Amino acid sequence: MIYAVIDTNVLVSAIITSNLQSPTLRVMEAMLAKKIIPLYDDEIICEYSEVLHRPKFGFDDKVINSYLEAILREGISAQRVTSSNFFRTLRTLYSMK
């Protein structure tokens, strides 16, 4: 099982593609098969929604909602950690040894 934040471009490409073997579509299929567990927070869900609703794509609301609902259903809500905080924590842990 892989835990990953799904890039917004992957969602867009998965919806646009007509190639059933497309890597982006395969990512979404892996998510539904529980091989990839999406990590998300409110900010990324809002970004997904905003980008997918852009008029230039013309995506149907039902399609957008099905993708967003799948991420919320199959994924895990996670807190964003900046790399500077992550590495500061690591340095603190290793300095305690």
Task: Tell me the pLDDT tens digit for each residue of 43-91.
Answer: 999 999 999 999 999 999 999 999 999 999 999 999 877 766 666 665 6
Identify the pLDDT of residue 93: 61
Confidence of residue 92 (pLDDT cuts 50, 70, 90): low
* Residue 68, C-beta contacts closer than 8 angstroms, at least 6 positions apart: 45, 48, 49, 52
Give tens-digit pLDDT for 4-22.
999 999 999 999 999 999 9
Q: Which domain holds residue 70?
A: 2-95
Identify the pLDDT of residue 79: 86
Report in angstroms the alpha-carbon separations of 18 from 3, 5, 40, 55, 90. Answer: 26, 23, 26, 20, 44
Angle at 51 between CA 48 and CA 79, to 5 degrees: 30
CB 22 within 8 A of CB 14: yes
The domain tally of the chain equals 1
Q: Output the six-digit token pair for 31.
A: 């998510």
What pTM was estimated for this model as a whole? 0.80
